[in-house]
Structures are given as C-alpha cells and as structure tokens.
C-alpha cells in the first residue's frame, strides 16, 4: 500500500483565468481541429466533440444531427449487423462516426462481417472497456491493428500517463480517459477506484502528445465550461453523455412522470442496461451505474448551440483565436470548496 499526496483536481476545483485578447467577437473563434492520426495516418477535420457510445446517446439519429455541426458520434454497440451496414453505407464521407465494440471474440467477428460489407465507410473504431488496464485489451489492440492498419482506433478507458503511452504504442490513435466521472456511473462508489478527471486529462494528454498520440476526455462534463476546461487541460477530443441525453435524437421512449415528460438515461454498466442487453447482472459482478429521469429537451440543435457558444466564449476570454491555442493560453485557478464539502459540516 502507498499513498500519493500530490494534488489532483476535478473540473469543479478550478476556473480559467481570463487574459487580454484582441478578439472582438466570439464569431472570430475557430473551434475546429485538424489531426493526422499516429497509426492510421488518416486525417480529421471537425469540432472534436463526440457523443458517447451509450444506447441513450450514441444513436443513428444523433449521428445525423451532429454531422450537420461537424461533431462526431460513437455509436452504441448493440445495433444489429444489417442496420449498421445500411447506416454506414449511406453515411456521407465528411461525417465522423465511430463503430463501437468490446474485446470478445464475438465482438471481433461481428466487426469483421460488418467491415467486409460496409468497406471503407467504417473509418473509426471505438474499443470500449470499463477497465483499460487489462492485458486482454492490449492483446486485442495488437490483433485489431494488425488486421486493419488504416482504421483509426480510439481505446480505453484509462486515467494514468503510463497506460496512455502503452495503449498508443499498442495500436490506439486516441486514448479514452476517465474512470468513474460520468453522471450515471457509480464505479467510484462501488469499487473505490477512480481519478479526478481534470488531473487525469492533464497527465494523460502530456503522455500522449509526447509520443504522437491523442486523448479523448470521457465523462464528467456537466456544462460548456467543463468542456472548455477539458480542452484547456489538453484534451484533443471531449466525449459527452448526459449533456446530450434527453433529446429527440436519443431514440428513447419518453415517460410521463408527475405530469411532465421525462426521458430515461442510464449508465451502460447499470442494472437497466445489463437487463436490456445481457439478460441481467452476472452473478460475479455488481452494477456500476444508475438510471435517472431527465427532462425532455426537444431537438439537440439548441443544446449544441449552447455548448459550442460556451466553448467559443471561453476562447475569447483567454485570447485563443483557435481551439488548438486554448490549452496554451489556459491558466487554471484553484477555487476553495464550500466548508461543508471540505470538513463534512452539516
């Protein structure tokens, strides 16, 4: 046993310090990015925000809606093969959509069949496991990269620099960063495992950028300001779940709750998700997610305008004319928490 006493920070622990700026309007800010990926050598241009691969967010409908704004979607992995092939076959080449998969042999074989039929329409893959520290993930990346050298692979999740480096060297172009920060994730409560998300982003970004890789900050953003902090901390992409949930494009049936329209939203390790997709919670594990009811929010377009407007505004406050400049111009200020948070006062 050992204790690390270095300060670790979450989004709520900091604010971004404003700086002098020559910008006169938010409209002058370019929040798109261009990347060339380390392994696949393919290029990307768009706004680096990705809808999470949750079945209440990562839908075909969300992909079409976000593509209009140059944002990306990681599809959930529970679609059937024919509908996946049909979707990708009709996808415009400028859209950024990740095919999501686990690391079992059946996941791999399903991907092979879909890729054979959809061909080059599938350019991005999200290899998603809750615990990115396992040898099985490393072995799977080796196999996937060897078979598909031109595919851009995002893999995770991890929260430390050394494992970020390993996944990049093992075949990942983008490493997904975050264990337990999501609003419907209970991993930290159930297991005691986690890492404050902002510090994880800063440390993993430093590790990834040193060897030519990229990171995606996954989880913990509850406002546009949190997204700006993630980019300011060095994230190349930011993945959103709860902030995009509750919209028409989530393809979830609304429920009436106390006279108002609500939309279910749940973690993919929740009992709800496992009952739906795996026939229940296996006897050897526990649920690490929860279900909540969100207010119905209508079409996602208005929320996207708020998100993108907030990020542009953050850039103007520090004088970043382009999103790529934000991390270079960000100074974080630690803020004191309320006394009852620090001392547990009632």
Beta strands in 227-289 (DSSP E): 237-240, 255-257, 260-266
Q: CA 242, CA 268: separation in Å to the nearest integer?
A: 12
Q: CA 58, CA 130: separation in Å to the nearest integer?
A: 17
Compute φ and ψ for 255, nearest 5 degrees. Answer: -125, 155
Under a CB-based contact definition with an 8 Å cutoff, are residues 114 and 85 in contact? yes
- Give the list of residues 6+ apart from residue 269 with CB closer than 8 angstroms, or none: 130, 185, 187, 287, 288, 289
Distances (CA, A) of 105 to 2, 92, 175, 278, 315: 37, 30, 22, 16, 44
Q: CA 220, CA 180: separation in Å to the nearest integer?
A: 8
Residue 144 three-state SS:
helix
Q: What share of the chain is helix, strand, coil (3-state, %, to 5)?
A: 40, 20, 40
DSSP state of 38: T
- Partners of 126 in the β-ladder: 100, 154
Q: Which of the following is catalytic: 185, 204, 250, 315? A: 185
Q: Annotated catalytic, 185?
A: yes
Nearest to 154 by CA among 177, 120, 133: 177
DSSP state of 56: T
- Give the list of residues 6+ apart from residue 341 with CB closer than 8 angstroms, or none: none
Q: CA 139, CA 275: separation in Å to the nearest integer?
A: 29
Quick one: residue 280, left, alpha or beta (phi over 0 = left, psi -120 to 50 = alpha)?
left
Q: CA 219, CA 202: separation in Å to the nearest integer?
A: 14
291-295 and 260-266 strand pairing: antiparallel
Catalytic positions: 185
């Amino acid at each position: 046993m050992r204790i690390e006493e270095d300060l670790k920070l979450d989004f709520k622990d900091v604010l971004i310090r404003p700086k002098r700026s020559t910008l006169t309007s938010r409209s002058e800010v370019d929040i798109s990015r261009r990347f060339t990926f380390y392994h696949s050598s393919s290029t990307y241009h768009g706004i680096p925000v990705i809808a999470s691969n949750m079945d209440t967010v990562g839908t075909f409908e969300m992909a079409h809606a976000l593509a209009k704004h140059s944002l990306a979607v990681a599809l959930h992995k529970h679609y059937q093969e024919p509908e996946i092939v049909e979707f990708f076959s009709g996808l415009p080449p400028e859209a950024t959509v990740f095919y999501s998969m686990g690391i079992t042999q059946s996941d791999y074989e399903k991907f092979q069949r879909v890729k054979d039929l959809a061909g080059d329409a599938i350019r991005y893959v999200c290899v998603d496991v809750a615990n990115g520290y396992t040898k099985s993930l490393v072995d799977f990346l080796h196999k996937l990269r060897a078979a598909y050298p031109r595919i851009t692979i995002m893999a995770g999740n991890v929260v430390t620099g050394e494992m970020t480096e390993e996944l990049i060297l093992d075949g990942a172009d983008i490493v997904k960063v975050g264990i337990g920060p999501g609003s419907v994730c209970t991993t930290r409560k159930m297991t005691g495992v986690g890492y404050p998300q902002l510090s994880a982003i800063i440390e993993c970004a430093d590790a990834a950028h040193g060897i030519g890789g990229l990171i995606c900050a996954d989880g913990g953003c509850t406002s546009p300001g949190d997204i700006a902090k993630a980019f300011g901390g060095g994230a190349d992409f930011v993945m959103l779940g709860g902030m995009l949930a509750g919209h028409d494009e989530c393809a979830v049936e609304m429920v009436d709750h106390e006279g108002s329209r609500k939309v279910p939203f749940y973690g993919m390790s929740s009992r709800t998700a496992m009952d739906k997709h795996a026939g229940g919670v296996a006897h050897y594990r526990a649920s690490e997610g929860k279900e909540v009811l969100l207010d119905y929010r209508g079409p996602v377009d208005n929320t996207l305008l708020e998100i993108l407007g907030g990020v542009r505004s953050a850039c103007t406050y520090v004088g970043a004319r382009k999103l790529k400049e934000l991390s270079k111009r960000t100074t974080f200020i630690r803020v004191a928490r309320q006394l009852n948070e620090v001392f547990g006062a009632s």
